[in-house]
A and B are shown apart, each in its own frame.
Chain A
Amino acid sequence: MIPENRSKADANPTKAFFVRMITRDITLEDCIFDLIDNSIDGAWELAGGQPMSLDDNTDLSPYRISINVQNDGFLIQDNCGGITLDDAADYAFTFGRKDTAETENFSIGVYGIGMKRAVFKIGSDITIHSTFIDEGKPSSFCVPIKVDEWLTSKSEDWDFDIEAAPDLPSAGVKIQISNLTEVALRSFESPRFIQNLRRSISRDYALHLHRGLAIEVQGKPVSGWAIELRQGGDFLPMRATFTEQIQDEDVHVELLAGMAAAPPDSSEPSDDFDDALNRSGWYVVCNGRIVLAADKTSVTGWGTEGWPQWHPQYSGFMGLIVFASRRADLLPLTTTKRSVDETSAVYRQFRPKMRDATKEWISYTNARKQVRVEAVKREEFTKSVPIFEIVPRAEVALPRIAPTPKIPEANVLYSVPKARMLKLASALGNINMAYKDVGIQSFEYTYSDLVGEE
């Protein structure tokens, strides 16, 4: 017989374990993004809550999110409507969405963990301050969280206290955090972290920034990345829309793919930064947020099911798959919003379409090796077009160029000290000139000097 008081094995998590666990597998940057996502969800709802397709032209210009980091604190503030007192009391601070919670319209948030995880990751002295409009009048509260006290308090419940607070200048949320964690402290001291944060915001919120949303870091607005594909002549990007029914709910899907930049002349890896290479790959967008950018891994199909591994030869390709649904839980979002759930059914359904578009590009770059000169000519004929302006088309169109008879060629390969190469590049007029061009120009120079006219 099992005694009465021994009939249950305690499986309740400790708070300390819980905090450690939820903050473990997410980067600091993604935590800051969770806070931005929440502000945007507020703004999107206020602005009407449409499905975020590329054609949608919701105006986000009244909304502003500002982020300030210092070595002794973090501050994010928005004017996106705030959290209501009822929401705060009932669910905003709950770890994990309650089953009864209504799903917001076309939100990024879905799991009910982002904000809590983010503030714990950043520091241990937290104040979340909200001003919302209640029957036409501003009303405010704040939730101070002293993490160390909360962790050590003997009380069984996990609640936070809600306190009265003065009104913020406009309805919105202000989160202040001090007593920073080691990782936040170190990152906020790094100018590189701040620059890269700006770059990631510019990229991952490009669709919101395009609609006028203002995001400021250290007082300076971030400008959105202008996502463009090249179009013209035989080059026509694909842009197709689909609607899937899942659990009686619409999931809107848009698929775009094509050439974002001309392929590289050589596929040798170089130690120099290559912007085109960096931008190449697949992008996955869920309710407006880019959750996966420039992906070159099996997550977007590379190296799976008769699809080759990514190779620098394919540089220049860009594809976007844009999902939107009233119910964010139907989208292939992960909890960190930094990748896609590969097991998601809608996502799997669209993978073959992604593969077909990718394969077109792969065969173009293969064929291109035989007809490089002609291909370059045609590529130069294209111009960059913002994705919003691309005309619908079911497939990617790329030129098919018949190979011309080959003139035998000689390849030259040699090494020189880098400093001398840079000096020569500089003397030729551009210190950043590709080594290959320095080589060609030196060849031509010597050739016309010693050999003369053909």
Chain B
Amino acid sequence: MPLSSKHLLGLSGVPKEDIQLILDTAVTFREILERPIKKVPTLKGKTIVNLFFENSTRTRISFELAQKRLSADTVNFTTSSSSTKKGETFKDTVLNIEAMKIDMIVVRHQSAGVPQFLTKISNASIINAGDGRHEHPTQALLDMYSIKEKIGKIDGLKVCIVGDIAHSRVAISNIAGLISMGAKVSVCGPATMIPKSIESLGVTVHHDINKAIAENDVLNILRIQLERKAGTNIPSLREYHNYFGVTEERLEKNNKDILILHPGPINRGVEISSEVADGPYQVILDQVTNGVAVRMAVLYLLGTMN
């Protein structure tokens, strides 16, 4: 059965069957990544543009590797310019690329809604690689993949997303995906980093990191953006670490099995201590590998739809 949409714009509203299909397909690609020759001819002849209006080397490289391993032709278009600056508008840029007859666009942009807008001006399949603080569906898919790989299931698990929920594109995608796969999701962080009415998405909210550790099977720890948060949303990074940081001491005190995810890049000593980042609970580097497999699955499923 194919996916229900030719685009992957986010995980909100995506049927459970689609998520299941992507995760199942990713298992096959994860195996391919262990082979000596990590390349399959599945997307030979397909052209994919990685349209990055915001610098994100990690996400771009992960997509690019996934594309190369599927034998697609890829072009990178990375620019920091946007419509506010003089010159070509965003729409013109896209129409230009569209005229080159491409099959898929992977887009990263600082404005929410750009992937939706692209579907209106392009015939290509659109994959959202992060739009503003809205969604980052492949990140959430790889998080779910990693949970499933480690624990064997998602249904019935308790997952807490910790940190700056308000400014994160990872949180909304994770919440939507996890809930549709049957997990019980909560968020934990300082109130200044919890967006208004997030309960309406079906999560519970609290502000106690010890409770988050004690009551959950999985913690997904979000990055605190060092450049802008201290002073306005939180008094200091030190205080954040003291009250919300995930440390070995806190994990040991609660003395239980817990899985730690982090979408990276990590800030050691802020949201996560070095001991935890390098310790036995976490799967941070597995997430990176799984990211390639999950992106291969998404590209494959969308690229072979018709």
Report if A and B associate in a common complex.
no
